[in-house]
């Protein structure tokens, strides 16, 4: 069982810089934005930097990388203009993934904003159906903290999207989001139960990536605020079991932990390695 763990790192100065940034924090896989996630923007990656990224990744990292889409993307929206922008953005992200030899593009379902759960899930599936996904790239739907009308907080939402779209989509589970949405991960038995439920509802064969984050808020609060590994309300026991759960041991993990209290990604990656029992690299 190979431990694949890394962080969400910056591409400032060129996407090829992400490789060195990942190595600097001790990661061997990880996540990037192709541009600022707060705006509608095209990835705009030059051929030379793409080549450097691909070469650097192959030489230095275990991989895989995942691209996280813009925060503005809303697959569930009933609004035509937002739907079109979301579709256009998704298309450009999967094309960028192909350019960079990145196998995954991660996206939140978004909020149905009055369309209802069923309507929102249908909207999401229909947007996904229209994306022309290049060979070798898979879209991952991320679990959500479930506040307001956001979908993806319940495993059933993820299962329904997989079922309703003609696209082959898989899942990225975020530990802080799952916990916020009401899935307990704070003890070894709770982790076992939650993973078993995910397998029953969605299927572990669909789990391709994990966002590993502790939570600053209680289980079921729908509040999404990440904490250092083992130091939040999921805590050390839950995190240790999650990291070592036999069904999850080979799934790559990207950290989105905060930089505060003198602790950064490097501290958190080291913490994951300390909690992992087999320590294989």
Give CATH superfamily name and number for 5-275: Divalent-metal-dependent TIM barrel enzymes (3.20.20.150)
Q: Which DSSP state fits 250?
A: T
Task: Name, in order, each residue with C-beta under 8 angstroms of 172's C-beta and a sequence gap of 6 or more.
Answer: 66, 104, 106, 140, 141, 142, 143, 207, 208, 209, 210, 211
Measured CA to CA, the distance from residue 150 to residue 223 in angstroms comes to 12
In the block, which residue shows the tokens 């793409």?
Answer: 50
Domain ranges of the chain: 5-275
Distance, in Å, from the CA atom of 109 to the CA atom of 280, rounded to the nearest integer, reads 34
Alpha carbon separation from 242 to 1, 64, 221 (Å, rounded) = 14, 20, 20
Per-residue pLDDT of the chain (281 residues; tens, 9 = 90+): 689 999 999 999 999 999 999 999 999 999 999 999 999 999 999 999 999 999 999 999 999 999 999 999 999 999 999 999 999 999 999 999 999 999 999 999 999 999 999 999 999 999 999 999 999 999 999 999 999 999 999 999 999 999 999 999 999 999 999 999 999 999 999 999 999 999 999 999 999 999 999 999 999 999 999 999 999 999 999 999 999 999 999 999 999 999 999 999 999 999 999 999 975 54
- CA end-to-end span of the chain, whole Å? 9
Quick count: other Cβ atoms within 10 Å of Cβ 182? 15
Pair of tokens at residue 250: 């080979």
Tokens of 268: 């958190």
């Amino acid at each position: 069982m190979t431990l694949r763990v890394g962080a969400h790192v910056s591409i400032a100065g060129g996407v090829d810089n992400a490789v060195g940034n990942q190595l600097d924090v001790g990661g061997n896989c990880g996540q990037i934005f192709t541009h600022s996630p707060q705006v509608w923007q095209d990835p705009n990656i030059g051929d030379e930097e793409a080549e450097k990224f691909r070469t650097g990744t192959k030489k230095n990292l275990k991989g895989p990388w995942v691209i996280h889409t813009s925060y503005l993307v809303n697959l569930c929206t009933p609004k035509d203009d937002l739907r079109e922008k979301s579709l256009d953005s998704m298309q450009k992200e999967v094309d960028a993934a192909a350019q960079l030899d990145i196998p995954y593009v991660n996206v939140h379902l978004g909020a149905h904003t009055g369309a209802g759960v069923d309507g929102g899930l249908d909207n999401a599936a229909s947007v996904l159906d229209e994306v022309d996904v290049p060979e070798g790239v898979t879209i991952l739907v991320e679990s959500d903290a479930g506040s307001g009308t956001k979908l993806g907080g319940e495993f059933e939402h993820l299962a329904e999207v997989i079922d309703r779209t003609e696209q082959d989509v898989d899942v990225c589970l975020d530990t802080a989001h799952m916990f916020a949405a009401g899935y307990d991960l704070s003890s070894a038995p709770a982790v076992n139960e939650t993973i078993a439920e995910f397998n029953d509802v969605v299927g572990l064969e669909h789990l391709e990536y994990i966002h590993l984050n502790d939570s600053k808020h209680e289980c079921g609060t729908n509040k999404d605020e990440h904490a250092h590994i083992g130091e939040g309300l999921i805590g050390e026991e839950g995190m240790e079991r999650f990291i070592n759960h036999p069904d999850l041991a080979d799934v790559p993990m990207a950290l989105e932990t905060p930089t505060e209290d003198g602790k950064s990604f490097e501290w958190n990656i080291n913490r994951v390695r300390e909690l992992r029992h087999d320590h294989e690299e």
